[in-house]
Structure 1
Amino acid sequence: MDTNPPPRDRYLSAMLLSAAGDALGYRNQRWEYCPSGPQIHRELQELGGLKSIRASLPDWPVSDDTVLHLATGEGLATGKLQDELYHELARRYVAAMSDMEGRKPGPTSILGTSQLRPGEPGGYRIPFNPSGTGCGAAMRAMCIGLRFPRPSELPLLVAVSVESGKMTHNHPTGYLGSLASALFTSLSVQGVPLELWGSRLLETLPLALRYVRDTETDVQPHLDSWGYLQQSWERYLSERGLLRGSGPPVFTSSYGAAERDVEYARWSLDGWAGRSGHDAPMIAYDALLSAGDSWEELCNRAAFHGGDSDSTGVIAGCCWGARHGLSGVPKGNYAELEYRQRLENVADSLYTLAWGAP
């Protein structure tokens, strides 16, 4: 049996809270580049706490994460599929790079978009990149799960998340992060228990591998680099007691901001938590597992930590919004967001494409 339509406002909250998680974790460059979660939490209290923050310009812009997430969402909102969609996404990613002043796009996203040639045969594909392991594909892919939310649409979700991810991060650790973010958002919409998400990701990886084998002209570099994300997730899920998809998750008794910094850095590829395609969705997932229905606790864990805090915040915020809506979220965190109207338009269009008219 396929999924029943969720309330339309869940799509709105997913898009708005993805941008809120981004803006809060970014804090106009200040917190994304802060290595200390405890320092961020001290500064947050000096601001009066989360409830006192009005996430609006000029102090709380969205980062490159939301600009590129919007590019994905607005491309999907055209209703195009397959090659037409991929060229549309490539065109929008290239155009989005003109809106990066003060947003700190990653070097791999900059390089990847410079290599795209939308409209030309094969122009949405770039060469394999041995260094394309970053989170830039993962942090813009959540809305793919809003567009293709049904279990029966999993092959489409795999294809679109992999192809869109490869447009800048053509390395399995990069583009499988895109798959993870899209899949987790679709599972949010479906109402699948959180404890199952990690095992569902592992179950989906063979579908992604089959897709890459079927579509790549030179598949060997992908095969050589394939195992890292899967092995990282298997270790994480084993530590949480969730490898077989049963719960509850296991957490240490002391898991405050300092302890989370240590854990998150331990999962990372290079010591900068959330920077890579495997650990940005992982940190977001870890925060979702432990935050329950508390937006404040989600932000504490996903957006206010040492490392790439906006990229983990944008993923977690989208999934949390799709599950919980806006209830309990301080209005100031989302009411005056930069690009709010575009976020609302994308939410409305994707809901209509996914589920039809209300």
Structure 2
Amino acid sequence: MTAADGDAIWGRTEQQDFRSRVRGCLLGGAVGDALGAGIEFDSLDDIRAAHGAVGITDFVPAYGRRGAITDDTQMTLFTMDGLIRAHVRRDTGAWHPPTDVHAAYRRWAATQRDWGPDERKREDGWLAREEWLYARRAPGNACLSGLADERMGTVEKPKNPDSKGCGTVMRSAPFGLLVGWEPKLVFQLAVECAAQTHGHPTGYLAAGAFAAIVHALARGDSLDNGVQRALAQLAARPGHEETTDALKRALGSVRQGMPSAERVQALGEGWVAEEALAIAVYCALVAEDMQHGLLLAVNHGGDSDSTGSLCGNLLGAIHGETALPPGWVAELEGRGTILELADDFAMEMTQGPALHSPASSAPAWLARYPRS
């Protein structure tokens, strides 16, 4: 990319690399989510008793099938949908991405209470009409209550001011894929959108840090450098201490010996945002490959689907989708939708002006991502 966001000129090789990272980030997160879904509420002892000393090595049944995703992947998809809609709506002179992401989260909330899509509501766009997304997969209480009415939480006046659950970080990878944005803006957007449901500083700052790390990876930087960049941004934020300490513990754990479930559990259980972030970063740093990192991220007593999802987002952004074990990808629920959305996002970021403008737009694109 050779120009600032909005006027960027992408070469073909750059477009292909970016699309691979977007696909990898979304698919990797979904695979990690699905690996952890069947053991999310189990202790490490229970996991080992049921699956052997090393824990699970493949998908186990959850929600009636193998490869099922949870609310983590659902919300990540709607985050990405909201970001595309924000860029499309900019043609009208309206430019406030948190509002568009909030509207997308409200569409996700409808999937948790309605039987299926309302085909009459064309303004919802294509993602909200995907019937398979209308399924409750253990959504977080703060996410549901934070989106129960039309008021959008803000950092100044957040929803659920005492909540710092991992529901903030598990949906925030797409912010990091805004590679044309400056890192500080990516961090801030993730923070503002996290505060729509979780108001504790640790909850929304962990989301900002995660987005900043993904952003560095999507631009081709190393994971270690990405973490250092996130720490630098955190240092200027009030209430950063828990998130900063968690990331530093993750870095320190890398130097303590061979990776193990016990080292993962020493970082926490992952139910709160900073612990989920720390576990994902640690597992991605020590991963020998995608399979090793993802299995390490889920085989612990805690929020296995969220830590697996976050680790998959990181490793996918580093290596692209071809590094994922193909057997897992083939069995993944919703793979077609995930890839379709990833490709749409990559097109919007790299070829947006060819798809829509204030003067002329492709009708099919506006049908998928309405401006209303």
Indicate how the Cα distance of structure 1 residues 234 and 52 shifts in structure 2: closer, same or farther if over 3 A, else same: closer
Q: What residue identity is the alignment partner of 2:179?
A: P
- For the 8 Å contact 1:17–1:314, the answer to whether it is kept is yes
Indicate how the Cα distance of structure 1 residues 156 and 336 shifts in structure 2: closer, same or farther if over 3 A, else same: same
Which residue number in structure 2 is paired with residue 231 of structure 1? 245
The unaligned stretches of length 5 or more in structure 2 are: 4-13, 113-134, 355-372
Between 191-200 and 294-303, the greater mean CA deviation after superposition: 191-200
Q: In structure 2, how many angstroms separate the alpha carbons of the residues matched to 1:352 and 1:176? A: 29
Q: In structure 2, how many angstroms separate the alpha carbons of the residues matched to 1:155 and 1:200? A: 10
Q: 2:22 aligns with which of 11, 29, 39?
A: 11
How many residue pairs are counted as aligned between the two chains? Answer: 315
1:86 counterpart = 2:98: yes
CA RMSD of aligned residues (A): 3.2
1:33 counterpart = 2:41: yes
Q: CA deviation at 1:51?
A: 5.5
Q: What residue identity is the alignment partner of 1:229?
A: T
Which residue number in structure 2 is paired with residue 289 of structure 1? 285
Q: In structure 2, how many angstroms separate the alpha carbons of the residues matched to 1:123 and 1:196? A: 29
Which residue number in structure 1 is paired with residue 116 of structure 2? none
Q: In structure 2, how many angstroms separate the alpha carbons of the residues matched to 1:159 and 1:45? A: 43
For 1:261-340, list aligned pairs within 5 A.
261-265=264-268, 273-292=269-288, 294-340=289-335
Q: What residue identity is the alignment partner of 1:73?
A: M
Q: What residue identity is the alignment partner of 1:92?
A: A
Which residue number in structure 2 is paired with residue 198 of structure 1? 227
Q: Secondary structure at the match of 1:191?
A: coil
Which residue number in structure 2 is paired with residue 77 of structure 1? 84
Q: CA deviation at 1:104?
A: 0.7
Q: In structure 1, how many angstroms separate the alpha carbons of the residues matched to 2:61 and 2:20? A: 21
Q: CA deviation at 1:199?
A: 1.6
Q: What residue identity is the alignment partner of 2:328?
A: N
Q: Summarize deviations over 1:278-299 as a string: whole Å, max 9, x none.
A: 121111110011113x122112
Indicate how the Cα distance of structure 1 residues 204 and 342 shifts in structure 2: closer, same or farther if over 3 A, else same: same
Q: In structure 1, how many angstroms separate the alpha carbons of the residues matched to 2:160 and 2:203? A: 10
Which residue number in structure 2 is paired with residue 65 of structure 1? 72
For 1:42-121, list aligned pairs within 5 A.
43-44=50-51, 50=57, 58-78=65-85, 79=87, 80=89, 84-100=96-112, 101-117=135-151
- For the 8 Å contact 2:48–2:54, the answer to whether it is kept is no
Q: Secondary structure at the match of 1:104?
A: coil
- For the 8 Å contact 2:76–2:174, the answer to whether it is kept is yes
- For the 8 Å contact 1:9–1:325, the answer to whether it is kept is yes
Percent identity reads 29
Give TM-score scaled by structure 2 length.
Answer: 0.74
Q: What residue identity is the alignment partner of 1:356?
A: Q
Q: CA deviation at 1:167?
A: 0.6
Q: In structure 1, how many angstroms separate the alpha carbons of the residues matched to 2:332 and 2:59? A: 15
Q: CA deviation at 1:83?
A: 5.5
Which residue number in structure 2 is paired with residue 134 of structure 1? 165
- For the 8 Å contact 1:287–1:301, the answer to whether it is kept is yes
- For the 8 Å contact 2:284–2:315, the answer to whether it is kept is yes
